[in-house]
Amino acid sequence: MHNILNKQGFNGHLGEQRTAAILAKDFLVSTISVDIEGRDFTVEEMPSSLIEIQESKKRITCKGIVQAKYFENSNEVKIARHYVEDTEGVKTDFFALIHTDDINRNEHVYFFTAREIQQNFTLRTDSDKDYYIFRLSSKRKFLKYKNIPSHKINQVIRNEISRTEEFRNEEFIRRITEKWVNPINEQQYSNNDLFKSLKGKHIVD
């Protein structure tokens, strides 16, 4: 058992190292304990100027969540269902990088968005918990998701983070706008009044 745990720890560390090397080319990367929803890394855009940093404080910003995995041979990889989905549906800010080596010790990586995990992995229940299962076989090789260039991986992550931010900010404005509707007489204030009330205030400190 001790050797198995050591092997799992080594493989986990190997997956994390390779994932960090890909992400660090384009993002600010932070490490998260795997005990917190199994998330290994969070990523965010690198600000290009002080002005960009100041402007980012005026809106809701989102980080990508990336889980790193490593497997050997045809061993399966499990990703908990609640990492991939929430009450709003499939998450747009969660990604998985799954690494392995072939018999010649060549490195390979498989990249998936949460939606691709939902669409392509097998859903299975173990000990009353739901998991999405990745496993290579003669019928399932996942070639479409194999060895995608790093810059393309990071571009997909960047695009999905942007989509998530856009949704969160639109949702925030919608909720604020609803508060300007008087439920008694249904009087609605103008957008000018609304934005005057927000002028000079940071949405996120």
Confidence of residue 51 (pLDDT cuts 50, 70, 90): low
Place 46 in a pLDDT band, splitting at 50, 70 and 90.
confident
At residue 62, does pLDDT exceed 50?
A: yes
User: In this predicted model, what pLDDT tens digit does every residue of 156-201 receive, in sequence order?
Assistant: 999 999 888 777 767 766 777 776 665 554 555 555 555 555 555 5
Which pLDDT belongs to residue 204? 47
Q: What is the pLDDT of residues 63-110, one digit of tens each?
A: 899 999 999 988 999 999 999 998 889 999 999 999 999 999 999 999
Band of residue 1 on the pLDDT scale cut at 50, 70, 90: very low
Give the list of residues 6+ apart from residue 117 with CB closer than 8 angstroms, or none: 79, 84, 96, 132, 134
Tell me: pLDDT of 5 over 80. Answer: no
In this prediction, residue 124 has a pLDDT band, given cuts at 50, 70 and 90, of: very high
Listing DSSP states for 13-75 in one string gives HHHHHHHHHHHTTTEEEEE--TTTTT--EEEEEPP-SHHHHHHHTTS----EEEEEEE--TT-
Would you give the end-to-end CA distance of the chain in angstroms? 48
Distance CA 110, CA 47 (A): 28
Q: What's the mean per-residue pLDDT of the chain?
A: 81
SS3 for 131? strand
68: Cα within 13 Å, side-chain hemisphere: 26
List the beta bridge partners of residue 20. none
pLDDT in tens, 135-166: 999 999 999 999 999 999 999 999 999 888 77
Burial group, residue 175, by CB count within 10 angstroms (0-12, 13-18, 19+): exposed
